[in-house]
Amino acid sequence: MDPIFERIKTGGEIELPREIMKSLHLEIGEEVELILKDRTVLIKPRRSIVDEITGAIVLDQKTAEEIIDSKELTMSMWD
């Protein structure tokens, strides 16, 4: 994505462009995490622990299904 430039408004406010909000899956009123690192501000969605765990479970479930369906597991079960 090409850089997008915004002006800092009164009170230090910066408006996030719609395309950035869409790519981060952010909604109006949602909280974000701001991280300062080497004069750079990182903005990332603040997700609840439930969202984090659910995402991990979905990934692990997919991985588990791939392992179960693999020939390696099937072959090793009968060795």
Q: Read off the pLDDT of residues 16-49 as tens digits, 9 standing for 90 and up.
A: 999 988 888 888 988 888 999 999 999 888 876 6
DSSP string of the chain, one letter each residue: ---------GGG--PPPHHHHHHTT--TT--EEEEEETTEEEEEE---HHHHHHHHHHHHHHHHHHHHHSHHHHHHHT-
> pTM higher than 0.85 for the full model?
no
